[in-house]
Amino acid sequence: MTDADPTTILQGLRGSIDNIDAALIFLLAERFRCTKQVGVLKAQHGMPASDPSREEQQIARLKRLAAEADLDPEFAEKWFNFVVAEVIRHHRSAAGTSAEATSADD
């Protein structure tokens, strides 16, 4: 350990955490911009909002990555399931919006 003031160390660590949190928010926003485009594409072509096979593949992949990163793989799966539930909600919303738009055009 160092002789540095613990309060100073704590402030530095919290600053790093704050920066990481900000980066995560911007990355999630970018992810949702991409998944929104997927939702629109699926809605336009009558594709289902969810793809269980892809989700299973992603869970396995993310759990492997988590293990490599020394992160709890079960946490990675929980995080992914949480995000996917939101994505599916967006996809279903896009499908409803697309169906309404199509009806309005007829």
Residue type, 36: K
Q: Give the H or E element holding residue 103.
A: helix 73-105
The tokens 């160092």 sit on which residue?
2
Question: Is pLDDT at 27 greater than 70 in this prediction?
Answer: yes
Q: Does residue 88 contact residue 47 with C-beta atoms inside 8 Å?
A: no
What distance separates the 2 farthest-apart alpha carbons in the chain?
A: 74
pLDDT of amino acid 106 = 31
Q: Per-residue b/e over 16-40, b at no fewer than 16 CB within 10 Å?
A: eeeeeeeeeeeeeeeeeeebeebbb
Assign 1 a pLDDT band (cuts: 50, 70, 90): low
65-106 pLDDT, tens digit per residue, is: 999 999 999 999 999 999 999 998 888 887 776 544 333 333
pTM of the model: 0.76
